[in-house]
Amino acid sequence: MPSIARTFVKAAFVYFVVAFVLGALMMLERWLNFSRWLRVVYLSQLHLLVVGWITQLAIGVAYWIFPRFRKEQTPEPRGSDTLAWAVLIALNMGLLLRFLFEPFYLTGPQPWLAALLALSGVLQALAALGFAWLIWGRIRPMES
C-alpha cells in the first residue's frame, strides 16, 4: 500500500475511533447531563463518520487498488502525487474546521464562524473534485 493510501486509511481509522468516542459520550450525556456542548456536536459527529471514516477509507483504498497507469504513460503510476496529497490535506482540513467550529456556531452564530464553516465546505468540495479528477483515468480495464 503506497504511503498516501496508508495516510488516508490511518486518518480514516482515527476518525472512526473519535466518532465512536463522541457517539458514546453523546449517549451517556442523555443520562448524566455532563456537557451541553455534546448536544450540538451531532452534525459534526455524523460528518466524522460519513466523510472522515467511510469516504476517506473508500478514497484511500480506491487510490491503492484501482488499475494503475502504465509506466510508459507516466512516471507516477497512480496519478499525480502532489494532487493526492492536496486532496488529503484539503479533505482533512475541511473536516477538522467543521468539527472544531460548528458546535460553537450552533450555540452562538457569528459571521467569522460562518465564514470558517463555508471555508470547510469549499475545502471538502475541492477535495472531492480533486480526487474524482485524479482517479478518473484509472477507472479502466486492468489489462490495457
Partner 1 sequence: MPTTSRLFVRASFLYLSLGAIIGALLLINRWIPLGSAVLALRASHIEFLIAGWLIQLILGVAWWLFPPMALRPRPGSSTPIRRGQAQRGSEPLFWTTFAFLNAGVLLQAVFAPLYTWTNVRAFNLLASISGLFLLVAAITFVINMWGRVRELGRRT
**Among 12, 41, 87, 127, interactor with partner 1 by CB under 8 A:** 127
52 to 91: interface string for partner 1, x by CB under 8 A? --xx--x---x--xxx------------------------
Q: In a 10 Å sphere around its CB, with 0-12 CB exposed, 13-18 middle and 19+ buried, how is residue 92 labelled?
A: buried
Q: Which of 45, 120 has the CB closer to partner 1?
A: 120
105 interacts with partner 1 by CB under 8 A:
yes
Q: Which of 108, 111 has the CB closer to partner 1?
A: 111
Cell of 46: 455524523
**Rounded to whole angstroms, what are the CA distances from 126 to 13, 31, 91, 120?**
22, 40, 8, 10
Interacting span for partner 1 (CB under 8 A) from 7-15, 24-32, 48-56, 78-86? 48-56
Instruction: State the nearest-atom distance from the C-beta of 73 to partner 1, in Å.
Output: 17
- CA 144 to CA 141: how far, in whole Å? 6
**Those residues with Cβ within 8 angstroms of residue 97's Cβ, 6 or more apart along the chain or in another chain:** 116, 117, 119, 120, 123
8 interacts with partner 1 by CB under 8 A:
no
The closest alpha carbon to 121, from 140, 99, 139, belongs to 99
100 interacts with partner 1 by CB under 8 A:
no
**AA identity, residue 30:** R
**Among 1, 27, 28, 114, interactor with partner 1 by CB under 8 A:** 114
**AA identity, residue 108:** G
| Residues forming the site for partner 1 (CB under 8 A) | 50, 54-55, 58, 62, 65-67, 98, 105, 109, 111, 114-115, 117-118, 120-122, 124-125, 127-129, 131-132, 135-136, 139-142
